[in-house]
Structure 1
Amino acid sequence: MKTINSFIKLGTCKPQLAFSLTLLALAGCSVAPLPQLNPTVPEAWRSSRSYNEPPRPELTQWWQAFNDPELNALVSRALQKNLNVAEANERLRATRILSKHAQSPHLPTLGIKTHDAVSPDTSTSYFLIGFDAQWELPLFGAKQSADRLANGHKALVKADLQAVLVSLVAEVSSRWVELRAAQQLETTLSTIQKIQREKLELLLIREHLNLTSSSDIASARAELARSEMALTAPRQTINRTTQQLAVLVAQSEPEATWLQRGPQPKLGNWQLSSLPADLLRTRPEINSAEAQVLIAAGELGMSRADIYPHISLGTSLQWSLNIASNRKRTRTGDSILSAGPGISIPLFDWGQRVANAHAKDHQMQAAVLAYRQTVLQGVAEAEIALGNLELLRLHERSSLQALAESQKRLDALKRRASLGLLSELDMDNARIDKLQIQQQVANANAERSIAYIALYKALGGATLPTAPLKDAY
């Protein structure tokens, strides 16, 4: 309170100026300080390789790394039409409208009241009308704390919107990758089923010529039945993912184009190399925790301001009109004007207010600890996702090597078959082996794509809708 003490020594100041400066000093007094949020993050990712020029898609367009125009269009449609995004936008609009009036409770109020008054001897009757105006001054940090509360709630709702966007983009991308992977699996299993049927027909011919046993026929039939059973899983996935995509774009039914088989999204040789502090700033959970700290600081400031006396300025105007009189001489009307400051001092509940301020202080400290925990959890999730992505990259590379060796083996068997040194049954088995390894490559690619999506979801990567968000007023 050095400002007030230095002002009191200036005896030459006018009383009005002195009163105004005192109120300004009290208005900023006792504001709860904002804590320093300095989260501990590692200097670099442990699971990231070093690149001279690492390919890094933008956080707002990370799904374009798949180079899939259909996925890009689907994400854009979801951002524009998803109902959860629309709901979050409406909540943000409502919060923005209310935040503009954060200082409205500290504005002057005006009251009007009327009533009839009859004199005790019933000789006259007056009509009374009164105007009362009062302004409780936002002192002791109440004004700044109200702004913090409004800004904190607005930041919290914006973080909720960002969380919806991040989850939506990740969900659309994941369902699309699962859909294309299931369609690829269905194609491979259908081809295997066709080969198994041809193999059974060939064995039946050989059985008719007494060149094979009944056990070989039974084994071939069992393999054909298993291949037919295996088709159930990808078809269930196709049905589920298409319906989920329809919900994400606010449609009741999937589009027919989704059921048409297309190429599986491929990530390529993508790799991340950047500092956590540079990427985690967009994580909605961290933004939400930071908003909670701001809200807690605002509530602490309001509770501290509630400890001190409440000072107000007020004025009152009372006017009377004689409407009925049995006297010969009586006044027809009169008015009374009064104005002055008022003060409300907490006495008997002062201890409760102090306890409330102490409790709010602990709640703010809890919000700071929750923020730090959220940062640590975000770093851990990103590190885990990045590690999984690197491991699955190595897994995909190994599956590609296995596919290359399988192709070499199949080419060698084809040369032997052309020389009449190999039967068609052996060739069918080799083709099935190659198709199975080829499907393993497709599965590895899909798993790596899902890990890539999980990484950017952990980093809070998303984009705002193309249409700008505007307030309703």
Structure 2
Amino acid sequence: MTKKPLIPTVLAAAMLLAGCSLIPTYERPAAPVPTTFPGDPAQPSGPAAAALPWQDFFTDPRLAGLIQTALANNRDLRVSVLNIEQARAQFQIERSALFPALGLTGTGSRSSPNAYQAIDPTQGSVASQYAVNFGLTAWELDFFGRIRALKDQALSQYLATEESRKAAQISLIAAVASGWLTLLADDELLEITRQTMVTRDESVRLTKLRFDNGVSSEIDFQAANSQAETARAAYAQQQRARLQDENALALLLGAPVPAEATAGGAKGLAGIRPMPDVPAGLPSDLLTERPDIRAAEQQLIAANANIGAARANFFPRVSLTSSIGTASSEFSGLFDRGTKAWSFAPTVTLPIFDAGRNIAGLNSAKAGREIAVAQYEKSVQTAFREVADALAGRATLGEQARAQTAQADAEAVRYKLSDLRYRNGIASALDLLDAQRSLFTAQQSAVATRLLQLQNQVTLYKTLGGGWTTRNNG
């Protein structure tokens, strides 16, 4: 009676049970956030942020060039891309276990004494054995879905890594845009401070002239001199801040900041091309538009699949080792007629006692899923908060910027009038110095608020999932 028909029988049984899976049915957790954003703000029309390519949002060519440089050179983004390759390879490793690994082996041995010499005196004192075999070794038949669960887990990890790369790109683009806006604001503040230094030096000159002629006191002269030195200290501080901000942007770019990136900086923040308003949509839209939330969900799916693998450990494992080839005591006769050899060796392993190892593994997998659920829910809540904060900024920063610009204009008129009154001996030096201080502070506040308004637009685009879509220009 031959055993050969057993091989297709076992393979058929493996195919029959291939659909068996112990992975729990996955259900996306309910989003633990309100159905609308606070205040129910009016929504501008236009495409969703996630569907808007970054080239159509950041339309200033200077900024677009910086973003292209960062996407090509940034090391953090490069690590994210390599993480994808590593996760893809790990998935392929897990998937390969579903298929038999076929291999060709050749063996040869010579030993002494020869056990067959006592039976057959014609045999020499040295025994020889040669064999060539083609077959598979310890292929696990996945009756209970353990290997497929591990494969599904690796697939979800790979998909999560891909989403994490998109999230990293979004963060990088937003950081580059914010850093570039900061540099423009630095240049604008430096110009304001330089003009203030010129104005205060002129006040020192006039006050010194009046003091020398006995018209004003030394107190007025020293107060004017103090204000001029304060402006110089502010200028040095802003120069340092500008250099540090440029260094931070260079780190994001992975290259030095080109001079043309801030060309035309005399206009400051007012000279950039405007960024479009984007609709916020509903909080539920974030589940599909934010890559970081999708990554957290894929991690949850992976943890869910891991439970299936842990459950399968309670059931028998069936592995198959089989080969066919030739065997001979003479190397020259290895492929002669009658040297055919084959083997078929199925193995069944049934866990009986493991000191609670499998139970602990299952409990660990279930706890891992609960951790992944909490992390997913936290990512949704964080996204909701980020969008709500950005919407609050959009609703208020525009009016704040308008009011502070108007304040700066009013202070500029006040300073001109105070300077005129001082030159004509009507106002005191203290009135002039107070007007100078107020004007300088108002101008700085106006620039800072305008910077916050523009950076808030960038933040809103980022928090809504914008930045990972790229328009193909070719």
TM-score range (shorter-chain normalised) is 0.7 to 0.9
- Please, what TM-score do these two structures have when normalized by structure 1? 0.81
Cα deviation, 1:102-144, whole Å, max 9, x if unaligned, reads 3212322346343336324364333232635343212212343
Matched, 1:116 2:110: yes
- Matched with 2:216 is 212
Helix, strand or coil for the counterpart of 2:348?
Answer: strand
1:275 and 2:282 aligned: yes
AA at the equivalent of 2:442: I
Contact 1:307 1:350 in 2 (8 A): no
Indicate if the aligned counterparts of 2:130 and 2:330 stay in contact, CA closer than 8 A: no
Which residue number in structure 2 is paired with residue 221 of structure 1?
Answer: 225
Partner SS state of residue 351, structure 2: coil
For residues 285-304 of structure 1, give each alpha carbon's deviation from its aligned partner in whole angstroms, at most 9, with x where no partner exists.
Answer: 32222121122123222222
Q: Distance in 2 between matches of 1:106 and 1:178?
A: 54
Q: Superposition RMSD on alpha carbons, in Å?
A: 3.7
Give the structure 2 partner of residue 471 of structure 1.
Answer: none
Task: Say whether the 8 Å CA contact 1:27–1:142 is kept in structure 2.
Answer: no
1: CA distance between counterparts of 2:19 and 2:323?
Answer: 29
Distance 1:375 1:399 in 2: 35
Pick aligned residue for 2:21 from 30, 34, 47 = 30
Q: Which moved more, 1:400-409 or 1:142-151?
A: 400-409
Q: How does 1:62-141 map to 2 (within 5 A)?
A: 65=57, 67-109=59-101, 110=103, 112=105, 113-116=107-110, 118-121=114-117, 123=121, 124=123, 125-129=127-131, 131=133, 133-134=136-137, 135-141=139-145
Which one is further off, 66-75 or 269-278?
A: 269-278
| CA distance in 2: counterparts of 1:318 and 1:269, whole angstroms | 71
User: 1:333 Cα shift?
Assistant: 6.7
- Consecutive unaligned residues in structure 2, runs of 5 or more: none
* Contact 2:160 2:295 survives alignment (8 Å): yes
CA contact (8 A) 1:146 1:302 kept: yes
Q: Structure 2 length normalisation: TM-score? A: 0.81
Offset of 1:178 from its aligned partner? 1.2
Greater displacement, 63-72 / 373-382 = 63-72
User: How many residues were matched structurally?
Assistant: 447
Using the aligned pairs only, state the percent identity. Answer: 21
Provide Cα deviations, 1:337-393, integer angstroms capped at 9, x if missing partner: 333643222223384224322331232232123212221222123223332443333
Quote the residue 2:386 is aligned against: 381
- The answer (yes or no) to whether the contact 2:49–2:464 under 8 Å persists in 1 is no
Residue 33 of structure 1 aligns to which amino acid in structure 2?
P
1:41 paired residue among 16, 33, 36: 33
- In structure 1, what is the equivalent of residue 306 of structure 2? 299
Give the C-alpha shift of residue 413 in structure 1.
7.2
Change over 3 Å in CA distance of 1:386–1:18 after alignment to 2: same
Question: Whole-Å Cα distance in 1 between the matches of residues 367 and 53 of structure 2?
Answer: 40
Deviation at 1:184, TM superposition (A): 0.7
Of residues 312, 319, 336 in structure 2, which corresponds to 1:312? 319
Deviation of residue 310 (structure 1)? 1.6
Aligned ranges 1:56-455 → 2 under 5 Å: 60-61=52-53, 65=57, 67-109=59-101, 110=103, 112=105, 113-116=107-110, 118-121=114-117, 123=121, 124=123, 125-129=127-131, 131=133, 133-134=136-137, 135-251=139-255, 253-258=256-261, 260=263, 261-265=265-269, 270=277, 272-317=279-324, 319-323=326-330, 334-339=339-344, 341-349=346-354, 351-406=356-411, 409=414, 433-455=438-460
Q: Return closer, same or farther for 1:66/1:136 CA change in 2, 3 Å cut-off.
A: closer
Pair 1:51–1:245, CA change in 2 (3 A): closer
Range with greater deviation from structure 2 (65-74 or 438-447): 65-74
Change (3 A) 1:204 1:409: closer
Unaligned runs of 5+ in 1: 1-13, 325-330, 469-473
